[in-house]
């Protein structure tokens, strides 16, 4: 029996890092919406901010990324799906995880990763998030501030990456054991 895990969160919460570490621990492939988005931006010679604005007026970009991610997840028995909407798009996930962190923590992580001033990272990220929030609501009727679909919600500012992976693995074990126990009762 396969295992599907979704890792969602706003930019700078550590979703890519956690998906990668989890992938190494479980030997599962990662399907990343963020990587797809960054690749498309790079191919067009645009910054993430510019590409986010471009995607806002070109809905086919989001649709392509979301459709590709969903198709890849459906094709696989086991995988880790990482992206803002992955918890919403992969309905049959065994475990849906949301990472969050205070804005200043996220902006500092983004500034460090992208080698840009904190203020620039903050302004670009806030603009990008507003655009994305509006797009997701418009295209899919999804309010990404709704955490009710997630099994586990973790403040990534309070734990190291390895600790977060351990929390996720513990939650996954418990969820799979509960499912197995329920199946045994039903047979």
pTM comes to 0.88
Do the domain assignments include residue 182?
A: no
Cβ(34)–Cβ(101) below 8 Å: no
Structure tokens at 101: 């962190």
Alpha-carbon separation of residue 31 from 64, 71, 97 (angstroms): 14, 10, 15
Instruction: List residues forming the annotated binding site for ATP.
Output: 9-17
Do the domain assignments include residue 170?
A: no
Q: List, for residues 76-131, the tens digit of each pLDDT value.
A: 999 999 999 999 999 999 999 999 999 999 999 999 998 999 999 999 999 889 98
Residue 9 predicted with pLDDT over 90: yes
Decide which of 62 and 11 is more confident: 11
Give the whole-angstrom CA distance, residue 103 versus residue 143.
18
Do the domain assignments include residue 177?
A: no
Instruction: Calculate ∠ Cα 120-109-115, nearest 5°.
Output: 55
Give the whole-angstrom CA distance, residue 117 versus residue 10.
19
pLDDT the model gives residue 32: 94
Q: Count Cβ atoms below 10 Å from residue 21 Cβ, excluding itself.
A: 17
Do the domain assignments include residue 180?
A: no
Q: Region 32-53: what's the mean pLDDT?
A: 88
- Residue numbers of the domain that contains 91: 4-163
When divided into structural domains, the chain yields a total of 1
pLDDT the model gives residue 187: 53
CATH number, residue 145:
3.40.50.300
Q: Region 55-69: what's the mean pLDDT?
A: 86
Q: List, for residues 123-179, the tens digit of each pLDDT value.
A: 999 988 998 898 889 889 999 999 999 999 999 999 999 999 999 999 999 999 988
pLDDT the model gives residue 109: 97
Residues contacting residue 32 through CB under 8 Å, at least 6 positions apart: 16, 19, 81, 82, 83
Instruction: List residues forming the annotated binding site.
Output: 9-17
Q: Cα dihedral angle (135, 40, 60, 12), rounded to 10 degrees?
A: -20
Decide which of 132 and 30 is more confident: 30
Do the domain assignments include residue 184?
A: no
Structure tokens at 58: 């070109």
């Amino acid at each position: 029996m396969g295992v599907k895990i979704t890792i969602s969160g706003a930019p700078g919460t550590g979703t890519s890092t956690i998906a990668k570490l989890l992938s190494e621990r479980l030997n599962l492939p990662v399907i990343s919406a963020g990587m797809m988005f960054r690749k498309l931006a790079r191919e067009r010679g645009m910054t993430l901010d510019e590409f986010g604005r471009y995607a806002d007026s070109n809905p086919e970009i989001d649709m392509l990324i979301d459709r590709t991610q969903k198709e890849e997840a459906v094709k696989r028995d086991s995988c880790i799906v990482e992206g803002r909407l992955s918890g919403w798009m992969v309905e049959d996930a065994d475990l849906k995880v949301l990472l969050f962190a205070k804005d200043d923590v996220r902006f500092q992580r983004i500034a460090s990763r992208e080698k840009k001033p904190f203020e620039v990272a903050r302004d670009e990220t806030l603009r990008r998030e507003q655009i994305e929030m509006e797009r997701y609501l418009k295209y899919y009727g999804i309010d990404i501030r709704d955490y009710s679909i997630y099994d586990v919600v973790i403040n990534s500012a309070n734990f190291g990456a390895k600790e977060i992976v351990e929390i996720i693995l513990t939650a996954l074990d418990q969820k799979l054991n509960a499912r197995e126990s329920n199946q045994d009762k039903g047979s």
